[in-house]
Amino acid sequence: MRFKRWMVLAAAMSVAGMGAGTPPPPPVSLPRPPDPPRPVVAPVTVDLQILNAADADPQEFLLQARPVVVFADTPADPLFVTQLDEFRRDPRTLVLRDVVVVTDTDPAAGSAWRDKLRPRGFSLVVLDKEGGVIERKPAPWTSREIGRAIDKTPGRRNEMMQARGGR
């Protein structure tokens, strides 16, 4: 019981010792140092190579580039248009991975790409430098998604390791 009285008395004394509230001091405004000058950098243009299937032979890309082949039944296919817009939005991601885009919108022409990959309607096919299929998609993908799929391949991992000075 004595302990409770002592606690109440100590609490009352500490509250009484606070006194009336005093307003906080006004905020101090310090002058902001000027921003350091930014270096002038010329904009870097990145050209993603987009070829028609009739103008590109699959053999010419072996061990040189990673073809990303976009098939559609017509050039007006909304999925085809969306896919090309995605490529234009972020071409740098693809260029850094040695990607060449090949488009085929004429099923009647029977290109070598159609004979090899056998698409139906819209199809996005990502190939590696050896000509093997990495991914097949029935809908558009962003450049980032394509880049991630490429980065998972052993060939790309070796390239990245060599670029960092690895084995």
Please determine, for residue 19, whether its predicted confidence score (pLDDT) is greater than 80.
no
Q: How many residues are given for the chain?
A: 167
Q: What tens digit of pLDDT does each residue of 87-141 get? A: 999 999 999 999 999 999 999 888 899 999 999 999 999 999 999 999 999 999 9
Output the pTM of the full model.
Answer: 0.70
Could you tell me whether strands 50-52 and 99-104 are parallel, antiparallel, or unpaired per DSSP bridges? parallel
- The per-residue pLDDT of the chain, averaged, comes to 86
CA distance linking residue 15 with residue 11, whole number of Å? 6
Give residues with Cβ within 8 angstroms of 112, minimum separation 6: 53, 57, 58
Mean pLDDT of 43-52: 79
Please determine, for residue 167, whether its predicted confidence score (pLDDT) is greater than 80.
no
What is the per-residue pLDDT for 41?
59
The residue among 49 and 17 whose pLDDT is bigger is 49
The structural domains of the chain, ordered by start, are: 50-163 (3.40.30.10)
CA distance linking residue 74 with residue 81, whole number of Å? 10
Mean pLDDT of 44-65: 87
Q: What tens digit of pLDDT does each residue of 59-80 get? A: 999 989 999 999 999 999 999 9
The residue among 137 and 18 whose pLDDT is bigger is 137
